[in-house]
Structure 1
Amino acid sequence: MSEMVFGVVPVLAAVLTGLFAGLFLSFSMAVMPGLARAGDRAMIESMRGINTAILNPLFAVVFVGAPVAALGSTALYATSGSPTPLVWSGAGLVLLLTAMVVTFAVNVPRNNALEQAGTTEHLGDPAAVRAAFEPGWVRWNHVRSLASVAALVCSVMALLPA
């Protein structure tokens, strides 16, 4: 049984971390550059729609599951006496937590401010609303993208033989 747990949990951590990283990286590589080409009202309306659509069970499994699985993997490595995978797994966990802190400290408050700005049709100055939202959101999304991709590298490195 313990061999199965040692085989499954670290792999699950790597898979969920890959999905976690892919989510944020897709925003950096395609979603936000695509929205940057849209007019102010269209960008605001689209981002509001994305912010609503992303709150779903699959997102929750990935967003919460990746750090939980990484924590489980790190705990397993801590009890196994294998220092190299423990360091890699622990580093991956710290990087995932960094991405989560950025999400809750920067991106979510910006999403909330965008929602509270009023309906798209009644925005007095959509360019100002966009300017207050987009540059900072994008910059910090790049930070969480890099942190989560680095977390993926760490979780894969933890799987390699020492």
Structure 2
Amino acid sequence: MSFLRTASLFAATLTTGLTAGLFAAFSYAVMPGLGRTDDRTLVLAMQRINESILNGWFALCFGGALLFTLLAAALHVGAGHRAVLPWVIAALVLYLLVLGVTAVVNVPLNDVLARAGDVDRVADLAALRQRFEVPWVRGNAVRAIASTAAFGLLAGALVGPGRLPG
């Protein structure tokens, strides 16, 4: 059981960290870079990114972060293993915030771009960009901060009280 507790916590930390890295990279590199482009480039690039991100690797990280964190929490409920439970629960709450923002802000905005269709047939690319860019960037910033904090908490749980031989 000790191996399963550690393995689940490690998997939660790894998948949360990979997800946090993705959202952070969008915050400090991808969106600022696209923000310096014209309307057509931003819309087309985000349409293609939104299409290509729906793959097994993303699903493993994005969904795995939730599942592995839930598993780690469940496996640390027993007496003698609760020292890291508050860290794991706090990480879980932050990751639930990430999921909520994704579902309420980012995915609906991605869907707006998808429904717009071929960028060469969009009547007003500037209006489409304006509707999408600022709220998507703000939502992603929340996801980046919350998932990075969750990653830090899970990393702390890995090395926290009761985890390392001492």
Alignment TM-score, normalising by the size of structure 2:
0.93
% identity of equivalent residues: 43
Q: What is aligned with 2:164?
A: none
Which has the higher mean CA deviation after the structures are superposed, 88-97 or 3-12?
A: 3-12
Matched, 1:10 2:9: yes
> Residues of 1 paired with 2:55 and 2:157: CA distance?
30
The number of aligned residues is 161
> Residues of 1 paired with 2:71 and 2:78: CA distance?
11
1:31-86 C-alpha deviation (Å, 9 max, x unpaired): 10111011101110000000000000000000100110001111111124433300
> Residues of 2 paired with 1:116 and 1:81: CA distance?
52
1:80-99 C-alpha deviation (Å, 9 max, x unpaired): 44333000001101111110
The one-letter code of the counterpart of 2:78 is: T
Per the alignment, in what secondary structure is the counterpart of residue 129 of structure 1? helix
The one-letter code of the counterpart of 1:107 is: N
The one-letter code of the counterpart of 1:124 is: A
Measured after TM superposition, the shift of residue 104 of structure 1 is: 0.7
Q: What is aligned with 2:43?
A: 44
Q: What is aligned with 1:90?
A: 89
Q: Which residues of 2 match residues 74-113 of structure 1 at below 5 A?
A: 74-113=73-112
Q: What is aligned with 2:157?
A: 158
The one-letter code of the counterpart of 2:24 is: L
Per the alignment, in what secondary structure is the counterpart of residue 79 of structure 1? coil
Measured after TM superposition, the shift of residue 117 of structure 1 is: 2.0
- In the alignment, structure 1 segments of 5+ residues that lack a partner are none
Matched, 1:26 2:25: yes
Which has the higher mean CA deviation after the structures are superposed, 108-117 or 45-54?
A: 108-117
The one-letter code of the counterpart of 2:120 is: E
Per the alignment, in what secondary structure is the counterpart of residue 78 of structure 2? helix
Measured after TM superposition, the shift of residue 159 of structure 1 is: 1.3
- In the alignment, structure 2 segments of 5+ residues that lack a partner are 162-166
Alignment TM-score, normalising by the size of structure 1:
0.95
> Residues of 2 paired with 1:9 and 1:53: CA distance?
28
Instruction: Report the CA distance shift for 1:24/1:80 in structure 2 as closer, same or farther (over 3 A).
Output: farther
Matched, 1:114 2:109: no
